[in-house]
Amino acid sequence: MRISSLVVLLALLLSGCDTLGGSDTPTDPARIDLSDSGEALVRSGNAFGTSLYARVSADTTANLMLSPLSASVALTMLLNGADGETAAQIQQALGYPAGWDLAQINADY
């Protein structure tokens, strides 16, 4: 009885492996043209990620899993709700220049 249940389960799982009429050839990725501020945002994000990883990994020899993009996105969302000195500190931590407009940061994201 147990083996027949396993066979039925395996058959159900394998029946979902069809391509559903999709093509087997990959498509070319879409090219995204960034504005100057978008490119600057990417550079800031890369610098933030490198700095974050360096700081976190400096205190450990154990395995480490870190998503700098997730941290950057979360802090940018927090920046949207912050004001005054807190907003300036978040913006500085992320490496965004002080003069950057929040609407432009959101649009570039």
- pTM reported for the whole predicted model: 0.66
50-74: per-residue pLDDT in tens?
A: 999 999 888 888 888 889 999 999 9
Can you read off the two tokens belonging to residue 55? 């700081």
CB 55 within 8 A of CB 48: no
More confident residue, 10 or 45: 45
* Arithmetic mean of pLDDT, 17-41: 77
